[in-house]
Amino acid sequence: MADLRINGETRVTGIFGDPVAHTLSPAMHNSAFAALGLNFVYLPFHVTKDGLGAAIAAVRALGIAGVNITVPHKEDVLPYLDEISEDARIIGAVNTIVNRGGRLTGYNTDGSGFLRAIREEGFETRGADAVVLGAGGAARAVCVALGKAGVRRITIFNRTYRRASSLAEHVAKATGAEAEAFSWEELETSGAAAIRAAGIVAQTTSLGMHPQENEKPPVPGGIFHKGQLVVDLVYNPPQTGFLRAAAAGGAATQNGLAMLLHQGAAAFELWTGREAPVEIMRQALMDTFVRRHADNPHL
């Protein structure tokens, strides 16, 4: 546990979400503050939909240095802010707020965190082909980030086709990448060819997440291969059935803890102006995750 020395000059950061009880972010950020000797603290705040406006007003009133915004507030928070970064505007969601003298700016570090995570695996985005499964909030951040990072073509599959097509249209217009939408059923047909041809495949739906460990997107067998990077944003369990299939085909795999880590590192840098101690944060994240699962495998 971080060695907290709270005093009159301690700067407060935290996370607003509902639910927020199981967040791993306090462990990650408090360890990082302690490692750099920064007089900051990071706290969880359970903020309901009805309380969001008052909570944002409290950031100004209490001089809170910055907060992360998580489910279900990432989109609803936009109207309360003074300024929105370009990434957050294009993604349409904010996960990090910085308070500069009462002026609140909204950022989105989910997209940049995803890019930092895949670059850690040595993945080169420029000119690559990508497949994204899902078309919700996480998929939006991933697709916009990939498009802006020079990916040539993004193929999106989603259970609700309409969401896939509107995301594809948005990404093409906002980033200049080619983007095409398919229904979930087409994963078994056109999906096979798209996945085989892709350098990166990102699974952004909740399929395979506890307690649905036995589920996975209906991709045909034998389509993953060496040279690909397959990312599943799920991290509980750490290896989903989808990642197991990818690894069996020889692909490199990464779970959602990497994006969680790097979105946190990017937020840390916005709040403190210091380079994030990524290895300290990774260790804190892993230790807390492992300890929590030893205590209660259902979390």
DSSP state of 34: H
> Minimal distance in Å, beta carbon 21 to ligand ATR?
18
The answer to the question of residue 163 lying near ligand ATR (CB under 6 A) is yes
Q: How far is the CB of 130 from ligand ATR (least distance, A)?
A: 16
Contact (CB, 8 A) for 263 and 91: no
206 binds ligand ATR (CB under 6 A): yes
Q: Would you count residue 160 as binding ligand ATR (CB under 6 A)?
A: yes
Q: How far is the CB of 41 from ligand ATR (least distance, A)?
A: 27
Terminal CA-CA length for the chain: 20
Nearest distance in Å: CB 158, ligand ATR = 5
Judged by CB under 6 A, the residue of 60, 89, 159, 196 near ligand ATR is 159
Q: Which residues contact 37 (CB under 8 A, 6 or more apart)?
A: none
Residue 96 corresponds to which tokens in the numbers above? 């990090």
Q: Does the protein bind ligand ATR through residue 256 (CB under 6 A)?
A: no
Cβ atoms 249, 221 nearer than 8 A: no
Find the binder of ligand ATR among 51, 53, 92, 136 (CB under 6 A): 136
Verify binding: residue 168, ligand ATR, rule CB under 6 A: no
> Smaller CB distance to ligand ATR: residue 206 or 283?
206
In the set 74, 148, 216, 226, the catalytic residue is 74
Binding residues for ligand ATR, total number by CB under 6 A: 15
CB 288 within 8 A of CB 31: no
* Angstrom distance (rounded) from CA 12 to CA 103: 16
Is there binding between residue 204 and ligand ATR (CB under 6 A)? yes
The CB-of-91 to ligand ATR minimum distance in angstroms stands at: 11
Among positions 90, 91, 139, 260, the unique one binding ligand ATR when judged by CB under 6 A: 139
145 binds ligand ATR per the rule CB under 6 A: no
Q: Is 207 near ligand ATR (CB under 6 A)?
A: yes
Task: Decide if residue 92 touches ligand ATR (CB under 6 A).
Answer: no
266 in contact with ligand ATR (CB under 6 A) = no
89: left (phi over 0), alpha (psi -120 to 50) or beta: alpha
Share of the chain residues as helix, strand and coil, in percent rounded to the nearest 5: 45, 20, 40
DSSP letters, 74-127, are TTTTGGG-SEE-HHHHHHT--SEEEEETTEEEEE-HHHHHHHHHHHHTT---TT
Residue 74 falls in the annotated catalytic set: yes
What type of residue sits at position 234?
V
Residue ranges in contact with ligand ATR by CB under 6 A: 134-139, 158-160, 163, 184, 204-207
Just list the catalytic residues.
74
